[in-house]
Structure 1
Amino acid sequence: MPGWPMHPRLAACRRVFLKAFELPVRIGVHDFERRGPQRLLIDVDLYVSLAASTPHEDRLDEVVDYDFIRGVIAERVAQGHIGLQETLCDEIAARMLAHPEVCAVRVSTEKPDVYPDCAAVGVEVFHIKESAA
């Protein structure tokens, strides 16, 4: 199977993305992580078919809006503590794929403050909707 950016089912898609969305998130399984929020960076790539994302009248309601991406993330984070980055990525991805115009999604999360000798630790997930493109 080809890598996800080259996947043939995504050839007729537009990528809409949110990069390095920084939020204080209550996440982690260790005791020290349960005491308060920590900085988390979230990237999301949505793949939307060109047919469903090519504006004809230059109006916002003709495309998938960035506010949708931010809103989904903020809503999930507000629900409370998350143990694992894997859980958060999977939940965000599922909510993004529920949008009727989204064909595929990539979600990554990074904790930049975990180790002093690393830029970040993180998780990434990619899903293609069964009925995509």
Structure 2
Amino acid sequence: MTVTVTRHFHLEGLECACRIGAYDHERLGPQRVIIDAEIRLSGETEPQRDTLEATLNYDMIRSSILQIATSRHFDLQETLAREIFDSLAGLAGVTGVRVRTAKPEAYEDCRQIAYELSSLS
């Protein structure tokens, strides 16, 4: 019996202060943004050793997302999500990516507004 293995890395609820928004009042200062990312990895790249060097570097992924999110002003969540998506999709062994950005303070009557990009099926 052959079993197909899929591997996924999840980063959920990463909060950062991001300069984001197209409206004048959004440009007055940073806003809280919550970022989720899921990365599907090739089964062939499963670690053969129990060492950090043999696997996806979680610290690097987190740092990369934060660096992108705080690097400049984004008018749109769509642009922020796309830059993060493209960065993660370019990593070795990655076969799919999902990125979700959310602005929890955008509207008083909504828990959050969010945008998601995904190549996962």
Is the shorter-chain TM-score for this pair beyond 0.5, marking a shared fold? Answer: yes
Counterpart of 1:116? Answer: 108
Aligned-pair Cα RMSD in Å: 1.3
* Structure 2 counterpart SS, 1:57: coil
Deviation, 1:12, is: 3.5
Q: Counterparts in 2 of 1:92-103, with a 5 A limit?
A: 92-103=84-95
Structure 1 segments of 4+ aligned residues over 3 angstroms from their partners: none
Q: Which runs of 5+ in 1 are unaligned?
A: 1-10, 129-133
Task: Give how far 1:77 is off.
Answer: 2.2
Does the 8 Å contact 1:106/1:127 carry over to 2? yes
Question: Given that residues 93 and 127 in structure 1 are in contact (C-alpha distance below 8 angstroms), is that contact kept between their aligned partners in structure 2?
Answer: no
- The corresponding residue for 1:34 is 27
- Please name the residue that 1:24 is paired with: 17
Name the counterpart of 2:71: 79
Q: Deviations over 1:50-70 (max 9, x none)?
A: 221x22221111111211221
Please point out which of 3, 11, 36 is paired with 1:43. 36
Q: Deviations over 1:7-65 (max 9, x none)?
A: xxxx642010100000000000000111110000000000001221x222211111112
Contact 2:19 2:70 in 1 (8 A): no
- 1:90 is the counterpart of 2:85: no
Q: Give the distance between the partners of 2:86 and 2:6, measured in 1 at CA.
A: 19
One of 43, 58, 63 as aligned partner of 2:50: 58
- State the identity as a percent: 37
Output the amino acid matched with 1:70: R
Where 1:116 maps in the other structure, the secondary structure is coil
Q: Residue type of the partner of 2:78? A: E
Cα distance in structure 1, aligned partners of 2:94 and 2:60: 11
Q: Aligned pair count?
A: 117
Unaligned runs of 5+ in 2: none
